[in-house]
Amino acid sequence: AQKITQTQPGMFVQEKEAVTLDCTYDTSDQSYGLFWYKQPSSGEMIFLIYQGSYDEQNATEGRYSLNFQKARKSANLVISASQLGDSAMYFCAMRDGGAQKLVFGQGTRLTINP
Amino acid sequence: GAGVSQSPSNKVTEKGKDVELRCDPISGHTALYWYRQSLGQGLEFLIYFQGNSAPDKSGLPSDRFSAERTGGSVSTLTIQRTQQEDSAVYLCASSLQGLSYEQYFGPGTRLTVT
């Protein structure tokens, strides 16, 4: 069965610093996709970045990058130059080739301090 | 273009009553998903639709929960004989078909069972 683990329930970071949010996953499939979503206090789920299991390059989207280490089954999210608006819950999720649903981790609450 | 919409945004109901939650996906998205987010349980998958059929209902917690989708568009999640443990935010998402396509989430319906 698929499983996503986010070991950091909460993180506090100073504004403008870079931050890494950890995510490890477990699947027996060779084909899968990894996603990161942001959920601000308003509640909406905002898609940030995607990494496919066959992608050789780490995904990047603006200030977001995904540090994909396939052998370690790790898909950490890196946010560069953090901003106050980055304060939110962050969820790592996975979808494997045999299923359509997303399996989510428990989330990390990120707080950016001025 | 318009995103995923859900109604109502909030619903308070008495224990034992039936409720219907509605989801309007993004036009052209053939895949539709229902998730539930509650404190302590994170985000849980409920059901997935491809067109009007539901090939994966594995997340429905009991036979009190059912869902349908008509015209390959609008979906309704029905909870019969509501219980207090059904209190949660119910999120709907839609996507194009394929492993790499992100799911776009609606704002959710907050259900409170008193």
Chain B nearest CA to A104, separation (Å): 6
A35's tokens:
């996603």
Q: How many CB pairs under 8 A join A and B?
A: 51
Give SS3 for B84.
helix
Question: Sign of the CA dihedral B59, B64, B65, B66?
Answer: positive
A7 shares contact with chain B (CB less than 8 Å): no
Prior bond to B8 cis, omega within 30?
yes
A47 shares contact with chain B (CB less than 8 Å): yes
Predicted confidence at residue B1, as pLDDT, reads 58
Cβ distance A33 to B91 less than 8 Å, yes or no, reads no
Cβ distance B105 to A44 less than 8 Å, yes or no, reads yes
Cβ distance A106 to B42 less than 8 Å, yes or no, reads yes
Q: Tell which A residues from 61 to 90 touch B, by Cβ distance under 8 Å.
A: none
DSSP string over A45-108: -EEEEEEETT--SPPEETTEEEEEETTTTEEEEEESS--GGG-EEEEEEEEETT--S-EE---E
User: Which residues are CB-contacts of B40 (< 8 A; sequence separation ≥ 6)?
Assistant: none
Q: Mean pLDDT per 10-residue run, chain B (114 residues)?
A: 92 98 96 91 91 93 96 96 97 88 94 97
Cβ distance B103 to A52 less than 8 Å, yes or no, reads no
Within 8 A of B105 by CB-CB distance, chain A residues are: 37, 44-45
CA dihedral A71, B44, A89, B104 (to 10 degrees): 90
User: Which stretches of chain B sit within 8 Å of chain A by CB?
Assistant: 31, 33, 35, 42-43, 45, 48, 50, 55-56, 59, 89, 91, 93, 99-100, 102-105, 107-108
Predicted confidence at residue B97, as pLDDT, reads 81
Within 8 A of B33 by CB-CB distance, chain A residues are: 100-102
Q: What is chain A's pLDDT, residue by residue, as a tens digit (114 residues)? A: 679 999 999 999 999 999 999 999 999 999 999 999 999 999 999 999 999 999 989 999 999 999 999 999 999 999 999 999 999 999 999 998 777 899 999 999 999 999
Angle among Cα B64, B68, B69 to the nearest 5 degrees reads 160
- Nearest CB to B99 within list A43, A95, A103: A95
- What are the helix (H) ranges across B1-114? none
Cβ distance B93 to A47 less than 8 Å, yes or no, reads no
Distance, in Å, from the CA atom of A69 to the CA atom of A6, rounded to the nearest integer, reads: 15
User: Which residues are CB-contacts of A113 (< 8 A; sequence separation ≥ 6)?
Assistant: A12, A13, A14, A15
